[in-house]
Each structure stands twice: as C-alpha cells, then as structure tokens.
Amino acid sequence: MFLNFIVKPYMIAYNAFQLYGWSIALFNFGKGIAASEFDVRASQWTGETAAYITFFQWLMLMEVVHPALGMVRGDPLTALLQVLSRIMVVILANVLGAPILQDGFWVNCVIFAWSLTEVIRYSSYIASLLDVKIYVLTWLRYTLFIGLYPMGVSGELGVFAGAIPFLERLENVKSIPSTYGGTQQWLVESGMYPFLLKIGWTGVIMMYVIGFPYLYLYMVMRRKSVLGGKKNKNGSKGGVSATKKTN
C-alpha cells in the first residue's frame, strides 16, 4: 500500500513530463515542416527540436529501470533494445550533424514516428494510471504503431547508413564536425566510434533483423489481446490495466 502511494504519483508525473517533452518536439516538427513548405528532405533536427528529443530520449532509460524494479509490468530487455537503438541515433545525429543530415528525409521519419508514438503512448499511460478509459486513445496506441514503427526503424537505418561510411573515412575522430561543439568526443568516450566501425553496416542491419521482428510481433500480440473485439463485463471493448504500466 505504501509503495503504491509513492509509485503511482511518481509514474503519473514521469509520464506527464515525457508527454510534455514529446508534444513540444512534435509541435516544433510540424511547425518546421510547414515553414519549409512541406519539404520532407529539409532536416528538422535543429535547435529546440533536437534538444528536446535528445533530453527526453536519454530520460527514457528510466523505462528500463521501472520494470527492473517491479514498478511496472514489462520486460526490461525489450525496453533496453528500444532505448539503446534510439540513443545511438541521437548521438550520431548530434555528433555528426551535417554529414548525415544533408538529406533530412530519414531523420525526419525518426522525429515524426518517435514523437507521435510517444505522445499517444504517454497519454495512454496517464489515462490508465488515472483509471480513465478512452477507447479511441487505446485504439490509436495499438493501431498506429503498424505504420509508425516501420517508419521509425527505416529512419534509424537511414541515419546509420549515412553515418557509417562517413566514420570509416575518418583518420582522426577529433576532426568530426559537430553541431553541438566538441561533443564528437562522445564517439570515443561512449565507445560508439570503435563499436560502429567494428560491426559496420552489416552488423547494424543484423541488430535490426533480430530486434525488429521480436518487438513488432510483441506489439501485434498486445494489439490482439487489447483490441481483440471481446467485450468485458461492462460491455466496453478492450482496455488497459490501470494499476501498472506495460512497456
């Protein structure tokens, strides 16, 4: 009882904070695309949009901690696979900047897919924690992923495709131009540079070949269980448990 008294308010606050951040990112993306006259190749990984996505994506590491501590239902490994692949993209986008963002199509796919997915996901979590059932929100969460998830993965692979050949041509990692002044040291200090060079493009593809079907089928099964069409005792369709979040 005491733990529930602490955990539930914390989870509501955490999800509300994430909802705020991703909503700002999505709004800025829409504003930027409109300003570019809907040129999908004009990179929106700039300024406030990049800063918000970077911060809230790193914060998402807490979603590995939450299920590990039993605060929510879910598989920490599943959460870790999702978060790490995204953090790798964030680091590359911030560190390399122009060399991989000249054609902004792929990073724009990442921004749109991530932001819209998280706005819906965190809204659903908050509603669940507050014992508010909004079927439309639940339907959006377990339906839009069908297109948004492949879009996001395609965008991530596009970013890697632009980054790896560039990294392979470098003789000195310190010569990498950075949009965030000096943060190219992340490639050395975080182990990203030797890691990416070692596994190369083939390795990255294999990571997604193994991880994507597992995570996608997991969501498909969740969709079937939540939106299976069966009615509960109150006559409403589907639903999500309001006691603990499922990652």
Active site annotation includes 149: yes
Catalytic residue among 20, 149, 180, 216: 149
Residue 209, CA distances (Å) to 64, 84, 117, 120, 126 in order? 22, 15, 21, 26, 32
Active site annotation includes 156: yes
Catalytic residue among 52, 118, 125, 156: 156
CA dist., res. 138 & res. 240, Å (int): 8
Closest CA to 17 of 109, 125, 91, 94: 125
pLDDT digits (tens, 9 = 90+) for 185-235: 555 566 666 666 666 667 777 778 877 887 888 889 989 998 875 444 444
Closest CA to 125 of 22, 26, 216, 29: 22
Q: pLDDT value at position 208?
A: 82
Sites in the chain below the pLDDT cut of 70: 1-3, 98-99, 167-201, 229-247
